[in-house]
Structure 1
Amino acid sequence: MSAANNNLLTLSGVHTHIGAYHILHGVDLSIPRGQLTMLLGRNGAGKTTTLRTIMGLWHASSGSVHFDARDITALETPQIAGLNIAYVPENMGIFADLTVKENMLLAARAAKRAQDMDDTRLQWIFSLFPAVEKFWNHPAGKLSGGQKQMLAVARAIVEPRELLIVDEPSKGLAPAIINNMIDAFAQLKKTGTTILLVEQNISFAKRLGDQVAVMDNGRVVHVGTMQELADNEELQHTLLGLAI
């Protein structure tokens, strides 16, 4: 398999404008199949805008986005999601007035009723996120922040996805819940799911990442293995202004 074919998602020279603001300045990014890629960078570097551009929530003003060799640059968000891509935004996007079960059912496109959902997969999700089972019939708005984050990820994987994109899954979470989240992503990796994570928690990134891309000022300025970045303090300081 060629290097190009080994990449599930490829951004080439992507520029994104939001109103008068030029946010992405020629992003080049390749996401290898079956790996977990960390997208790191200081606040305001363009990480969330990159994810939203991939999902068609904002459209690239130039450049291209290819998924599985298909040009998805101009597609609308529902079409992109229909290609078996799941996105967990930073604000989680939970429907507060619906129960946990109803939130999950909305994401299960193959199911019209709760009993139509794949029970084997649900039990696996419950093993990853026990709170989802515990609060199955509770309004999602009543959950704690950590429980909502678990629900957001559980909802994204209620059916097998080819690509999972998650924006800052550990933000504001207690260490015990962060460890639970790390375990869940590690299990997802074992299923062959390709994952793209934006993360500020560097220890989280270090424990999970295969590949890392670092953004600054709307561009990708470094690509390499997570291990390489974790082992190189000078590189960490140069790229991120911190030490892992």
Structure 2
Amino acid sequence: MNANTTIHSAPSLLTLQGVHTHIGAYHILHGVDLEVPAGQVTMLLGRNGAGKSTTLRTIMGLWQASLGRIAFDGQQISASSPREPAQTPEIAQRGIAYVPENMGIFADLSVAENLLLAARGARRLSELDGQRLDWLFGHFPALKKFWLYPAGKLSGGQKQMLAIARALIEPRRLLLIDEPSKGLAPAIILNLIEALRELKRGGAQGQAPTTVLLVEQNFMVARALGDRVAVMDNGRVVHAGAMQALAEDETLQQRLLGLSLAAHQ
């Protein structure tokens, strides 16, 4: 961890301590230490193959940590033994939603049916929260237009919007999102940024603020949304601090990421 890391004032909602993950014979995470402050957006950046997506999947229990501790709201959610099964359903029930890079939508179901499946509190379309739907349609109008279309017939960008909307259909305490802007048109990216800002402020129907851990390669999005940033390299977090400080330090960007954020605006 960077020795110059500052202490953030918000309490951590999610904490990873010394997390290792093996996938088959491959050792992917090598002792990840990460803190995600409550009510903030934490960006998880790094070169391709650094371990960012594996970190999200390990948090959700899709891949099991072989060593270390993962705690949500002070309670351990990682399996205590390598022989224990993944706990993804239990983890989701705590109010954690995950948007994978591959979107995770059901191609044969309609947009409406995809959202219904993601809404734990509804068993039929008429039971979906109308105000919440209107809020989603305001940011992603294509979902309303293609409400009864099979999700598999949507464009790549529309599928990504649907995947994000599935995570937002109900209030969540923590969102884990893997490259949400991938495949989206610039105008939709701006809508996504505003939607996540509203969630962080608790502005969606006056709900409590939502905490976000976001993997992103679009640095305009990272700079616009991030309060905190953690940079990964070779399966470890090698820097953590304020997003603004990284965005303003091109030398640090080059050292940690091998590029300048200014060149990707």
TM-score by length of 2: 0.89
Q: Does 1:106 align with 2:123?
A: no
After superposition, the C-alpha distances for 1:60-102 in whole angstroms (9 at most, x for unaligned) are: 0000000000100015111111111000000000100000000
The CA distance in 2 between the partners of 1:68 and 1:111, in whole Å, is: 26
Residue type matched to 1:105 in 2?
L
One of 10, 19, 22 as aligned partner of 1:14: 19
Residue type matched to 1:59 in 2?
Q
2:101 corresponds to: 90
- Ranges in structure 2 where 5+ consecutive residues have no aligned partner: 1-6, 80-85, 203-208
Residue type matched to 2:161 in 1?
M
**Alignment check: 8 A CA contact 2:140 2:188 kept:** no
Deviation (angstroms), 1:182 = 1.4
1:207 corresponds to: 224
The CA distance in 2 between the partners of 1:204 and 1:194, in whole Å, is: 16
1:97 counterpart SS class: coil
CA distance 1:83–1:201, change in 2 (3 Å): same
**Alignment check: 8 A CA contact 1:165 1:196 kept:** yes
1:242 corresponds to: 259
2:67 corresponds to: 62
Deviation (angstroms), 1:5 = 7.9
Deviation (angstroms), 1:169 = 0.6
CA distance 1:79–1:4, change in 2 (3 Å): farther
**Alignment check: 8 A CA contact 2:51 2:235 kept:** yes
One of 95, 119, 142 as aligned partner of 1:131: 142
Deviation (angstroms), 1:188 = 1.6
- Ranges in structure 1 where 5+ consecutive residues have no aligned partner: none
Deviation (angstroms), 1:187 = 1.7
Alignment of 1:208-227 (within 5 A): 208-227=225-244
1:43 corresponds to: 48
Report the aligned-residue RMSD: 1.4
Percent of counterpart pairs with the same letter?
68
Deviation (angstroms), 1:176 = 2.1
**Alignment check: 8 A CA contact 1:15 1:23 kept:** yes
Q: Does 1:173 align with 2:173?
A: no
The CA distance in 2 between the partners of 1:115 and 1:190, in whole Å, is: 28
TM-score by length of 1: 0.97
1:242 counterpart SS class: coil
Deviation (angstroms), 1:195 = 0.4
The CA distance in 1 between the partners of 2:195 and 2:260, in whole Å, is: 26
1:61 counterpart SS class: strand
One of 225, 238, 250 as aligned partner of 1:233: 250
Runs ≥4 residues deviating over 6 A: 2-5
The CA distance in 2 between the partners of 1:204 and 1:225, in whole Å, is: 15
The CA distance in 2 between the partners of 1:130 and 1:38, in whole Å, is: 26
The count of residues paired between Structure 1 and Structure 2 equals: 243
**Alignment check: 8 A CA contact 1:236 1:243 kept:** yes
